[in-house]
Amino acid sequence: MKKIFILSILVFFTIGAQATKGNKDLITIQITPDHYDWNYKIGEPAHFTISLFRDQQKLNNIKIEYAVGPEKMVPIQKDSVLLKNGSVTIKSPGMQQPGFLSCEVRATVDGFSYRNLINIAYDCEQIRPTTLLPKDFRSFWDDQICRMRKYPMKSEMTFMPEESDADVKVYRVKVTHYIRGNYLYGILCIPNKEGRFPAVLRLPGAGVTKHTGDKELARLGVITFRIGIHGIPLDLKAEAYGSLQFGALKDYMYHRMNDRENYYYNRVFLGCIRANDFLTALPQYDGKNLAAYGGSQGGALTLVTAALDSRVKYLAAFYPALCDIGGYAHNRAGGWFGVKELTPEETKVLAYYDVVNFARYIHIPGFYSWGYSDETCPPTSFYSAYNIIKAPKELYLLKETGHWRYPEQNIKVNQWLIDKLTGKSESQSEWVQPEMEPATSFLHPKELKFDETVGIHFVFTPFTAFTFFHQIPYS
């Protein structure tokens, strides 16, 4: 009964977070590669079969436009063709180096435009970073952490009765940061029972937004601390975050890219360490089991924290950003927020903030999950980090996913974290694998675009302006 109860909690909260329904295309563009596993060897040609569906039926006599080439780069093939028999097969010579090949298809039906894109992998396990490791990388960050700790940590915890319940106590937290007058804000959730518990630092995706606490994991006996990165309270009115997003914090990831000590992410990375200072000082913390967890920007911060803080024993990361940021200068996809042109000084500075260099210092077990078709954090970029991690790593790969994830992924990561943090092996785990309903019982992926942000989230390609859309809250 205990196993069933725990699993029921996971499923309830995972599915319950999906209440808001997004847009689903009337016309489905299906792109099917000729390798079942979407994996190819260098120099191997690839075939893409393209079909359009409405009401589960193929459409005939529709003109499509397609483009095939290395992801985020200029297409090597581009043309249009008429779907006379409901499908057409596009032949590509493939790739001559490790990476991902994109097939993008567009169609107009009854005056409405539709688009789909998939990436296939060419020896993706051979992808390596283009970003070089500075000789003083580790000493630089050791010095930065020492600088931060010159300012003693002081914290304020404010109980939030409106968010708390019989199982979880929720607190608004304010912590002194790395310079006088600078603060770190977060939402703390503690199991409402006697004892000492493992802890998870929850790291945010990109944007400027309000954050909520991770009560789901707290209900399972884990302290969770979800932080913001911008040094602003997390309980402001919604319009305040919008004003900051388009005002003082617009394009924050580009702020002072030519200044190693004052680049925007300096205070952000140090904030993750400061958050752990607070977490590990809690009397309810068990003193040994600490994990970092996030997706997108939060996935990047997860890897950074794991590399810099030996107190972190486990990590869980979805599609990490900030990997091989300068990849575009080497004619391949770079990580979010990769830019096409960097000055020599910017290139030098960003090497100290590139996640691929932190990945070299990760020595703890990790759970990773993503898909091949992510257009926000290109897989070329995060594979460049993943491939150089020598620590034990588990990859839950769902190839079709982009910058979103299925409910199953959320259940998997929570299961993995609980197992690790409570010291249970797979054979000893109280978790049971759920008998999931068929995929069709869930909302369409386009309706389930989970990320680590709440409210307004931005997604953009490296050389374009931001595209904003509303996200539903999820941990």
In a domain, 284, yes or no: yes
The CA angle 253-254-258, to the nearest 5 degrees, is: 125
CA separation (Å) from 201 to 25, 70, 299, 309, 329?
Answer: 36, 36, 12, 12, 34
The secondary structure of the chain in percent helix, strand, coil, rounded to multiples of 5, reads 25, 30, 45
Mean pLDDT within 277-286: 98
**Which residues lie below 8 Å from residue 40, measured CB to CB, with a gap of 6+?**
46, 94, 95, 101, 120, 121, 122, 123
- Which of 279, 152, 138 is closest to 218 using CA atoms? 279
In a domain, 37, yes or no: yes
Residue 60 tokens, joined: 């005939």
Same domain, 115 and 150: no
Q: Which of 89, 107, 124 is the last residue of a domain?
A: 124
Q: How many Å apart are CA 1 and CA 297, to the nearest integer?
A: 38
Same domain, 274 and 332: yes
Give the domain range for residue 77: 28-124
In a domain, 14, yes or no: no
In a domain, 13, yes or no: no
Give the pLDDT confidence of 324-376 residue by residue, as tens digits: 999 999 999 999 988 878 999 999 999 999 999 999 999 999 999 999 999 99
Residue 292, phi then psi, degrees to nearest 5? -115, 145
> How would DSSP label each residue in 310-375?
TT--EEEEES-SSSSGGGGGGTSPPPTT--S---HHHHHHHTTT-HHHHHTT--S-EEEEE-S--S
Q: How many Å apart are CA 122 and CA 133, to the nearest integer?
A: 25
DSSP state, residue 405: B
Same domain, 373 and 452: yes
- Which of 423, 469, 428, 465 is closest to 450 using CA atoms? 469
CB 384 within 8 A of CB 130: yes
Q: Is the pLDDT at 389 greater than 90, yes or no?
A: yes
Q: Is the pLDDT at 7 greater than 90, yes or no?
A: no
3-state secondary structure (DSSP) of residue 414: helix
The CA angle 46-397-361, to the nearest 5 degrees, is: 110
Which of 176-180, 237-241, 357-361 has the lowest average pLDDT?
176-180
Q: Which of 106, 124, 142 is the last residue of a domain?
A: 124
CA atoms within 13 A on the CB side of 424: 14
Q: Is the pLDDT at 450 greater than 80, yes or no?
A: no
Which of 11-20, 165-174, 182-191, 196-205 has the lowest average pLDDT?
11-20
In a domain, 12, yes or no: no
Number of neighbours of residue 323 by Cβ within 10 angstroms: 32
Same domain, 175 and 105: no
pLDDT of 195 reads 96
pLDDT band at 3 (very low <50, low <70, confident <90, very high): very low
In a domain, 371, yes or no: yes
In a domain, 436, yes or no: yes
Same domain, 93 and 186: no
pLDDT of 25 reads 87
pLDDT of 1 reads 46
Q: Is the pLDDT at 474 greater than 80, yes or no?
A: no
Mean pLDDT within 221-248: 94
Which of 101-110, 249-258, 336-345 has the lowest average pLDDT?
336-345
Q: Which residues are catalytic?
A: 296, 374, 403
pLDDT band at 17 (very low <50, low <70, confident <90, very high): very low
Same domain, 117 and 133: no
Same domain, 199 and 92: no
Q: Which of 82, 107, 124 is the last residue of a domain?
A: 124
Radius of gyration of the chain (CA): 22
Same domain, 135 and 116: no
pTM: 0.86
- Which of 241, 266, 240 is closest to 253 using CA atoms? 266
The CA angle 461-81-49, to the nearest 5 degrees, is: 75
> How would DSSP label each residue in 111-179?
TEEEEEEEEEEESGGG---SSPPPTTHHHHHHHHHHHHTTS---EEEEE-TTT--SSEEEEEEEEE-SS
Residue length, the chain? 475
Same domain, 120 and 146: no
3-state secondary structure (DSSP) of residue 203: strand
Same domain, 168 and 270: yes
322: left (phi over 0), alpha (psi -120 to 50) or beta: left
Q: Is the pLDDT at 420 greater than 80, yes or no?
A: yes
Give the pLDDT confidence of 145-166 residue by residue, as tens digits: 999 999 999 999 999 999 999 9
Same domain, 294 and 400: yes
- Which of 321, 442, 447, 333 is closest to 385 using CA atoms? 321
Q: What is the CATH number of the domain that holds 110?
A: 2.60.40.1930
Parallel/antiparallel/unpaired status of strands 183-191 and 223-227: antiparallel
In a domain, 242, yes or no: yes
Q: What is the CATH number of the domain that holds 337?
A: 3.40.50.1820
Task: Tell me how many domains the chain contains.
Answer: 2
CA 358 to centroid of chain Cα atoms: 16
Same domain, 63 and 208: no
Specify the amino acid at residue 314: Y
Q: Bridge-partner residues for 120, per DSSP?
A: 101
- Which of 128, 130, 74 is closest to 99 using CA atoms? 128
pLDDT band at 23 (very low <50, low <70, confident <90, very high): low
- Which of 267, 461, 432, 442 is closest to 374 using CA atoms? 461
